[in-house]
Structure formats: C-alpha cells, structure tokens
Amino acid sequence: MPKIDTLHPLLKSKYLKLELLAMERFGIRIGMTQALRTEAVQYAYWCKGRFELAEVNAAMKAAGLYYITEKENRIVTKAKSAATTFHGYGMAFDIVIIDSDGKTWVWDNGADTNEDGITDWDQVGSLADECGLEWGGNFTSISDKPHFQDRMGWTIAKLREHKIPSGMVFAEAGFLPKEA
C-alpha cells in the first residue's frame, strides 16, 4: 500500500499540496518515506542511537525496515511507542528530498539541490504553514526536518485519554477531527 494511503484523509491533500508547492516554487522534488507507524516500526526508530548497531538492526529487521550503518545510528525520535507520536495515528509523515536525477534520496541537512543558496529542507519547511502543517524543523526539543504533522486540535494525551487506538489510521478507527 502506498504510504499516502496510511495518512488521515484530511492530511493526504496537505501532503500533495506540499509536494506540488515544493516543485512549483523551488524546483524541489520530495517523496514520502513514512506515515502511519506500527509499534514495531516506532520502536525500531527509537532504538537508533540508544543501542549497539547489531541490536538496532535486529529491531529494524523485525519491523520490516532496512538495515542502517554506524553513521546512521543516531537518535531520531523521543517517542518509544506509536501511541506517543502523531505517526501512530496517521497524523504525521516524513519526507525525503529527491535529487535532480529523480532517483537519489538526499538526507543531508545542508542539501541545496536547486543550487539557490538556501537549504532544500528549509525551503520545503517554509511551506508548512501554507499547507496547514507543523514542521519538525521548528521543534525545539529535537529538530526533525523530514517531519510534518497536523494535530487537528488533538494532543497525544487527549488521543490516549479518549482511548483512540494507535497503529491504525485515526479516521478508520471511527474518529474524525473535533474539539479536543
């Protein structure tokens, strides 16, 4: 299933708008790498930078993810459980910059594929508000430039308080955005 299909229905159009604006305004091509996360996937990402590489790669394999290198074994999330991240409810997605060849994924925070002197991540991130999204590059606790989310008025605490299950698209659980 394409990752976009694991997003909350209201978030799908916001991702597509971000993708379109990034190309139209800056000539930057993006792709979605993550959306809804299961417990196994979230735990594997949480392990990065906290355990030895062999243990991290065992968690990655168990979650159906790719192996990482020692260089990639760094902390990327504070959320140990899918129930403690908006990814766990289909309310967040991660992107990657795609190089001009249309095939190479670019993760470098300083990437400037359109060669205009401004990082691609900052240019794409600057579109978040216009698309109705929060950008992880603005987070103060841990900068997460590939991350975008729409809380839809909810907090993680309210989602859990209302016993909204994680690991499935929020709307499929019978819940639509409402006053939290």
Residues 157, 70: one domain?
no
Domain for residue 58, yes or no? yes
Q: Tell me the CA end-to-end span of the chain in Å, nearest whole number.
A: 30
Whether residue 171 lies inside any domain: the answer is no
> Nearest CA to 127 among 95, 170, 104?
95
In a domain, 56, yes or no: yes
Q: Looking at the structure, do residues 15 and 53 belong to the same domain, yes or no?
A: no
Q: What is the pLDDT of residues 28-72, one digit of tens each?
A: 999 999 999 999 999 999 999 999 999 999 999 999 999 999 999
Domains held by the chain: number: 2
Same domain, 67 and 103: no
55 and 19 in a single domain? The answer is no
Q: Which residues contact 97 (CB under 8 A, 6 or more apart)?
A: 28, 29, 30, 105, 106, 107, 111, 113, 120, 121, 124
Comparing 169 with 38, which gets the higher pLDDT? Answer: 38
Determine the structural domain holding residue 45 and report its residue range. Answer: 38-84
pTM of the model: 0.90
What is the model's pLDDT at position 1? 43
Same domain, 96 and 20: yes
Question: Average pLDDT, stretch 129-139?
Answer: 96
Residues 16 and 53 in one domain: no
For 94, the token pair is 């991660």
Residues 140 and 161 in one domain: yes
Q: What is the pLDDT of residue 26?
A: 97
State pLDDT tens for residues 78-122: 999 999 999 999 999 999 999 988 889 998 989 999 999 999 999
